[in-house]
Structure 1
Amino acid sequence: MATKSLQEWEEELRKVVPNLGDLLNHYDFGIRVLQHLDDPQKLLQLLLEEYERQLEALGNVPLVPEEGEEVLEEEKKRLKALVMFATYAAEAKYQAELNEQRMKQNEELKRLNARLHKVLDTAPVGILVLTGDGGVENINRTAAELFGCKPEEVHGKPYQAVLSGFSPQEFSELFTSDEEQRREVTVHKENGPVVLLVTLGLLRGEGGEVEGRVVVLTDITLQRQLEQDRVRLEAVTQTVRALNHEINNPLAIISGKVQLLLMKGEELSEDVRRDLESVEQAARRIGNVVNKLTRVTKVVTTQLIKGLPMLDVERCLAQEDAE
């Protein structure tokens, strides 16, 4: 039954009780009804209370004639009016409570939705939610920063709006794929290349059709740089091991021979002595360099020749000492 307004109630009641105005005026109940027209809850409660009171008052009035007497027509009409009032009042009260419950549920949904957006915006990964036809349904702050856009500007627009400025072919394939995927994509930004691990999840309907896509973007640039540093460090370590064997052993022999020659003293001319001392110093220097290489745990490169990165031993050791 649809909820009726007070005006509709009155029209229905007048069909049953033509002198409804006189009937209500006969009781102060009519005045109390008018006093609470602006407060539906109090009005409904008042109607129900009046209904119960009148039923109690009429409880002793016989609805079946006794000894030929008939129930007053006025009482019958009043009872019908009150029953109708109570029916509509109960229905309206139920609808009011139902609407109030729905309002509370909507408020709770709004609160949860706002909380979800806060969680998404604080997530360290980029999250992009697309509709089935590729429209932007949601994009969090991290994803917006990665793509260089503003969430409010791309919301509801095709995914191409997110890729404005740079659009690797891989993104277009991912954003329209009907298969879950996971791949690395490199994008070039002003401050250098950024390596992203892109994971695509599908939102399917009951029939299995794709209703949306969830794209998760993780910046793994630092991870890839660390992996490259590890590879370079392994190469340096292998080189140092070779140097220890291939350089230190012959170097020790050279240093030993030079020291033996220097011990001959007066037999050597001054020029020969200076040359031998230079050889000894050079051997010591080479030994120090090899020893420094064995202490390298982090790779720092420099370019003495453009396009040719070389290991900067001193900076490697300085960075290690600073940490």
Structure 2
Amino acid sequence: MIISMISLRSLAVLACATLTLTGAAQTVAPQAAAISTPKSTAQLIGVAAEVRELQNLSLSPASADRWQILWLHQHIYEQVTAASLQVDATIAQIDNEIARANELRGLLSDRRDRKVSRDNLLSVIFGGAIGATSSGLQLSSSLDKPAAAVGIGAGSFSAGLALAGIHAQRGDTNPFEFPSNMLAEFFDRPALPTCRYPTTVWTFLNEVPPIGPHDVTRKQELLRTWVQVQRINSMGDAVKIAHITSQPSDSFKLSIDDFEDRAAMLEDVRARISYLKRDLGELLASLPPVSFAPGEMGTSQDNSSK
């Protein structure tokens, strides 16, 4: 009995130790994976040297130049703010294009739905009326041929309205006159001056993300996804690519599907770019804090004035 209790206690201790080590390993792994993100973000916005210098100064003795640390913090914050504003401006341009595309898609969809509903209603009304007439004519044996002719006409008319409804499912087309084509650079098409991605954002899109295939950039991943979900048939689909990257001067008339695909692809781009804001936040969180001892700022200021 005593031996069994000792064995059970040993197993419990071993299990607790195993869970503790497993939890520690799971805690260390994400931290190790997250270490490279602030470094790559610092390189992206051009403050890698300042971040290294700041980290070295934060490890130096108390006599280190605290004003230099403060200046480095300020410079890094300025670059992060500038990059964040570039992301916001890019997302704002994308959002405006999405909104306009959705408005035109909704307009064309409403027109299509009204036309389809009208054709279906006419098919029921006229088909039923003419069918009833044909049935009435059949009551007289001398009117069999006219009744058959009317019945054939009713069927033909209903079939014609059904075909018209099927054709109307495609909807009308409409030019996209909003001055924006934020998908153009993804397909090496001419982009409007206001639709060129800032260098920081474009470099971010052409980088390989830390999670995922090691040879696929964010831009390539988006292009593969669009082909996979049939937003475009292939990278050689010139007509479709021309429509989703068009600008007002092209005078293309876009369909409902074109507007829907354009908005959906822009939403994908917006989602990818938003990750840069997260990385900028992680960079700021990784910076060593500025710590001043009581009276140290005044002493440093007095020494600098002397």
Q: Kindly indicate whether structure 1 or structure 2 has the higher relative contact order, using CA contacts under 8 Å at least 6 residues apart.
A: 2
> What's the TM-score once normalised by structure 1's chain length?
0.26
> What's the TM-score once normalised by structure 2's chain length?
0.27
Give the structure with the larger helix fraction: 2
Structure with the greater alpha carbon radius of gyration: 1
Give the structure with the larger strand fraction: 1
